């Protein structure tokens, strides 16, 4: 780990950092899990950034980590904007933990959210002196969803010439994993995707893969320690003015931590970072690290006198203003750093860094996750308007004319996440119906949904569900529910124009509740729709009776007469029916099948 390396400024001795980027649902976490499983004796720490209100990825990644200390989560925000300060703090936290356990870290993998622009994240490694002295960017890997890329690119090309995150992610990649090739059967369609990728980034290597299959994964040595990132490439092929520097910096003022923050920092020593607490906790770590000094390779304190200053720099996550030193200086400095030569003068370094950070500091005061509805057309704003998340950005490749540079739009004002948690177990059928109806109506706008579920009738099997637009699959998690683990269902939806209230209310109806005494549940053999029979009276109903007023509810809203139902079956048959795994309804990569015609008993059952 960087804290365990005494060489400063030597490119190869710095701890390599791999950024995994890619649009929502492309397969980033699948890749990360593969890396963690195949890492062998190498020690890898993970910084995981999740956009959603509920962190499902932590659950999915944690099983593959040797220790939970190897994972730092940056939740409910996006590292490229609202959580960017926290990147530095997350690195400091990893150092603190590794120091505490006298453990080395060979590499760090940072998984961004699917909505992140990797550019500002990447440049934090050049802009922040503390990070730059300890870490080097090994490569940016972009995972591309072969099935949905064209849709995402189309969504990303606006009539006003702006581009979206999917484009940025490809443009900045050093390595592109064209994933889910199993879902694109036609060679022509695949070629079209490859052509689209090459039109954005012609220099990155493209590897076709199927990350969810053992046989479809790229070899590990292509992924880590590959030294592919090059600032020169960014300057030459993406934005020649990327490192333009100037003298002003407005960074330090609002990024400094107040004494109040510092007091809070002292209280949090370990554990995953809560949203909002994250930065403070990790800063405390940076401060603690500064106090004790960095460790050398053996774990002994290093006498490096700039240590305190460096770590404090990390804590502040800011750069001091520096005199204007000229574009060439800045570019050369960055290029020199990239190639492992001695760094530029600190003046140049800080100046370039100030320019970069200012350029990419795009989020408004409250960040885009607060559900701001501020839209571009509502006022006549300029580039860099913080309210709109619009910054001056990348040119379209090959376009060297600054006047024609496309503005990059990081307008997530209508994109939100809705996280829902519910205690207990879920009714399989109702949940299937809930998802089917939701996706039938809103699949295009629901970019991503995922969750961890406890389903009634399946004992301690923990189910994971994963959805990307209308593609959804269910399956058992790697680990079952632990005996002392609370059964809390967690789902998260990420998309455009989500109706939070409707999503929550709908999900609530999926929670399994016991039937009133005397009622049995059966399934229609063809549709698998449940129906209910009163043992005593023989009454049948599509609607689920509830305990308090079973008769009333049982007849309310039923869409067909119980007489149309199949004959009553024996309880043993019922058990067989209900023990069908929820995953049997769908298999990976297939859309959820419609068990019954739309709009029938699923809604009325509530
Ligand atoms: N068919 C198919 N599915 C895949 C492949 N690779 C990953 N998946 C599935 O795609 C879904 C999303 O994968 P993740 O790894 O969670 O995607 P992600 O990019 O981390 O998603 P976010 O973090 O939410 O943006 C999961 O259900 C994976 O099992 C593949 O090669 N083929």
Give the domain-ending residue among 332, 358, 384: 358
Tell me how far the alpha carbon of residue 70 is from its chain's centroid: 17
Same domain flag for 127 and 16: yes
Indicate which CATH number applies to the domain containing 514. Answer: 3.30.1220.10
Look at residue 407 and tell me if it is in a domain: no
DSSP tag of 237: I
Q: How many CB atoms lie within 10 A of CB 576?
A: 12
Hey, whose CA ends up nearest to atom 32 of ligand 1?
A: 180
As for ligand 1, residues whose beta carbon falls within 6 Å of it are 22, 24-30, 57, 114, 179-180, 182-183, 210-212, 448, 466, 468, 473, 588-589
- Domain extent for 106: 2-358
Angstrom distance (rounded) from CA 512 to CA 503: 17
Residues forming a β-bridge with 320: none
pLDDT at position 23 over 70: yes
- Pocket residue to mutate for ligand 1, from 21, 23, 29, 469, most atoms within 8 A of Cβ: 29
Cut 0.90: pTM above it: no
Q: Which atom of ligand 1 is nearest to the CA of 494?
A: 24
Q: Are residues 351 and 236 in the same domain?
A: yes
Residue where one domain finishes, among candidates 358, 393, 424: 358
Which of 234-238, 245-249, 253-257, 602-606 holds the top average pLDDT?
234-238
State whether 201 and 287 are in the same domain: yes
Whether 158 and 274 map to the same domain: the answer is: yes
Domains in the chain, number: 2
CATH number of the domain where residue 40 is located: 3.40.50.300
| 56 within 8 A of 492, measured Cβ to Cβ | yes
Residues 353 and 424 reside in one and the same domain: no
Instruction: Please state the ipTM of this predicted complex.
Output: 0.99
In a domain, 403, yes or no: no
Cα–Cα distance, 41 to 94 (Å, whole number): 18
Q: Whose CA is nearest to atom 12 of ligand 1?
A: 25
> Is position 373 within any domain?
no
Q: Is the pLDDT of residue 468 over 70?
A: yes
Handedness of CA 452, 453, 454, 457 (dihedral sign): negative
Nearest to 495 by CA among 114, 21, 27, 83: 114
Does 230 fall in a domain?
A: yes
Evaluate whether residue 563 is within a structural domain: yes
Radius of gyration of the chain (CA): 26
Residues 424, 533 share a domain:
yes
Which residue is listed with tokens 């015609």?
Answer: 597
Residues 38-59: tens digit of each pLDDT:
988 889 999 988 776 666 766 7
Q: Which of 358, 380, 403 is the last residue of a domain?
A: 358
In a domain, 406, yes or no: no
Element (H, E) at 585: helix 582-585
140 with 289, same domain: the answer is yes
Residue 352 and residue 423 in one domain: no
Q: Do 13 and 119 share a domain, yes or no?
A: yes
Name which of 456, 476, 453, 474 is nearest 465 in CA terms: 474
Same domain, 89 and 216: yes
Report the alpha-carbon distance of residue 143 to residue 170 in Å, rounded. 9
Ligand 1 centroid, distance to 255 Cα (angstroms): 35
> By CB neighbour count within 10 A (0-12 exposed, 13-18 middle, 19+ buried), where does 111 fall?
buried
C-alpha to C-alpha distance for 523 and 573, rounded to whole angstroms: 10
Handedness of CA 366, 368, 371, 373 (dihedral sign): positive
- Residue 341 falls within a domain, yes or no? yes
Task: Write the residue with the smallest CA distance to atom 29 of ligand 1.
Answer: 212
Task: Give the model confidence (pLDDT) of 73-120 as tens digits.
Answer: 776 566 566 556 788 888 999 999 888 888 889 999 999 988 888 888
- 3-class DSSP state for residue 512? coil
pLDDT per residue as tens digits for the range 266-296: 333 333 333 233 333 333 333 333 333 332 2
CA of 463 to the centre of ligand 1 (A): 15
Is residue 460 domain-shared with residue 336, that is, in the same domain? Answer: no
Q: How many Cβ atoms are within 10 Å of 361's Cβ, its own excluded?
A: 18
**Which residue has the least CA distance to atom 10 on ligand 1?**
27
Q: What is the pLDDT averaged over residues 429-446?
A: 89
What atom in ligand 1 is closest to the CA of residue 50? Answer: 23
Domain contains 528: yes
């Amino acid at each position: 780990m960087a804290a365990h390396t005494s060489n400063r400024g030597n490119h190869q001795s710095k701890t390599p950092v791999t950024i995994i980027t890619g649009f929502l649902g492309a397969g980033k976490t699948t890749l990360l899990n593969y890396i963690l499983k195949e890492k062998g004796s190498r020690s890898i720490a993970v910084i995981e950034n999740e956009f959603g209100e509920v962190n499902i990825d932590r659950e999915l990644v944690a099983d593959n980590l040797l220790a939970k200390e190897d994972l730092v989560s940056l939740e409910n925000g996006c590292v490229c904007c609202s959580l960017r300060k926290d990147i530095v703090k997350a690195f400091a936290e990893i150092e603190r933990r590794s120091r505490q356990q006298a453990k080395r870290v060979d590499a760090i993998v940072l998984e961004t959210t699917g909505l992140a622009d990797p550019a500002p994240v990447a440049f934090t490694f050049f802009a922040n002196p503390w990070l730059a002295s300890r870490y080097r960017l090994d490569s940016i890997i972009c995972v591309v969803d072969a099935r949905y890329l064209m849709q995402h690119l189309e969504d990303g090309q606006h009539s006003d010439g702006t581009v979206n995150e999917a484009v940025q992610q490809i443009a900045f990649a050093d390595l592109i994993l064209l994933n889910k090739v199993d879902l694109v059967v036609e060679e022509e369609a695949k070629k079209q995707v490859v052509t689209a990728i090459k039109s954005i980034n012609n220099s990155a290597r493209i590897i076709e893969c199927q990350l969810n299959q053992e046989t479809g994964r790229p070899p590990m040595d292509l992924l880590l320690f590959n030294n592919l990132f090059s600032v020169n490439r960014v300057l030459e092929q993406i934005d020649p003015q990327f490192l333009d520097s100037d003298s002003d910096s407005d960074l330090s003022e609002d990024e400094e931590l107040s004494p109040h923050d510092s007091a809070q920092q002292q209280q949090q020593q370990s554990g995953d970072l809560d949203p909002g607490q994250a930065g403070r906790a990790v800063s405390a770590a940076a401060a603690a690290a500064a106090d004790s000094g960095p460790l050398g390779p053996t774990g002994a304190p290093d006498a490096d006198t700039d240590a305190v200053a460096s770590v404090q720099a990390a804590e502040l996550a800011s750069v001091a203003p520096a005199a204007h030193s000229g574009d060439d200086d800045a570019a050369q400095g960055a290029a020199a750093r990239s190639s492992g030569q001695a760094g530029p003068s600190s003046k140049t370094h800080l100046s370039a860094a100030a320019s970069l950070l200012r350029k990419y500091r795009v989020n408004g005061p409250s960040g885009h996750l607060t559900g701001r509805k501020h839209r571009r057309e509502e006022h006549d704003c300029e580039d860099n308007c913080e309210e709109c998340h619009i910054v001056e950005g990348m040119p379209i490749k090959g376009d060297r004319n600054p006047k024609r540079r496309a503005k990059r739009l990081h307008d997530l004002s209508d994109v939100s996440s809705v996280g829902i948690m519910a205690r207990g177990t879920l009714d399989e059928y109702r949940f299937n119906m809930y998802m089917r109806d939701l996706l039938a109506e809103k699949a295009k706008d629901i970019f991503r949904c995922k969750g961890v579920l406890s389903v009634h009738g399946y004992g301690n099997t923990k189910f994971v569900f994963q959805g990307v637009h209308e593609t959804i699959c269910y399956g058992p998690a790697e680990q079952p529910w632990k005996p002392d683990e609370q059964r809390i269902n967690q789902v998260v939806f990420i998309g455009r124009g989500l109706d939070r209230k409707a999503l929550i209310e709908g999900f609530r109806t999926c929670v399994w509740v016991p039937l009133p005494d005397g009622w049995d549940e059966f399934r229609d053999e063809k549709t698998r729709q449940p129906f209910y029979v009163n043992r005593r009276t023989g009454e049948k109903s599509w609607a689920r009776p509830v305990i308090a007023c079973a008769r009333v509810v049982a007849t309310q809203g039923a869409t067909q007469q119980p007489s149309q139902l199949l004959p009553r079956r024996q309880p043993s048959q019922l058990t067989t029916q209900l023990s069908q795994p929820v995953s049997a309804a769908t298999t990976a990569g297939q859309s959820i099948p419609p068990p019954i015609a739309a709009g029938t008993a699923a809604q009325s059952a509530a």
